Structure 1
Amino acid sequence: MWTYEHSVETTATAPSVWNLWADVERWPDWNSEIEKIEIDGPFAVGTRISMTPPGEDPIPLLIAEAVEDELFVDEARFGGLLLRTLHRVDPAGQGRIRVTYRMEITGTGADEAGPEIGPGITADWPDTMAALTRLAEAAETAGADEADEADEAAR
């Protein structure tokens, strides 16, 4: 088995991050390694996603787990390999959350293939996660501004 994990902390809330995850068509807004993406149903367990990295063939993903505002797991199979990516949000204290991505590569030949393919797949995670949390924070700021404007208009 091969694993890699990366975490970032943010002032965004879990629902703001979840909303970005659940809006699959917008993933390219914060993940530059996606040229095209399609989802064949709701953002829920059992739904399939087709994700195309720039210049590559589509990668079929399956949502294997999904708990709103907490986590989702996608899986991709390549021959005897299973690439499982966990996306999780945890409280980090003092109005912050921790966003964690963890990849696990298991199956036939994972000990050899994991170190060969894993680092290339996960190399962009720090940038991707920074962009994700910036968008989540911005969405909250925009939402707060809209709420303030609505309060002012109601007065």
Structure 2
Amino acid sequence: MSTSEVVAATVSDSALDTETAYTGVWTPEAGAVVTFSGIVRNHDGGKDVRSLGYSAHPTATAVISDVAARIAAKYDGVRIWAAHRTGPLEIGDAALVAAVASAHRGTAFAACSELVDTVKAEVPIWKEQVFADGTVEWVGVSNAPA
């Protein structure tokens, strides 16, 4: 029987921060808390990014919840917090924040890494990047539900 817990798994247009994620998962039993922040940067593929925004399919919250639950079931004794941002973001804003607490650092690192990779691969969220040269690129459209 797993003693893991998903504290939060959501898609939101509100600002995200690692302190909220850390506070959400930490307990006195945790010997490790691993956090991750995917931050909007000012370049991609050798081009300057002027602006970007994220759009989500209506199922995105259910999918991120399912991903978090699967990771929690795989790693015993973890507490998980994950959120992905939608809407317009500025350079330096957090687009994806995750935190995993565990009694041991190896478990926390492994679970957090797998959580982030799986969220990026499976949650139907798309990024529209507008470059300084005026071109636009959509990223993640292969995640579209059938």
- TM-score, normalised to structure 1's length? 0.37
Q: Which has the higher helix share?
A: 1
Higher relative contact order (CA 8 A, sep 6+): 2
TM-score after normalising by structure 2:
0.39
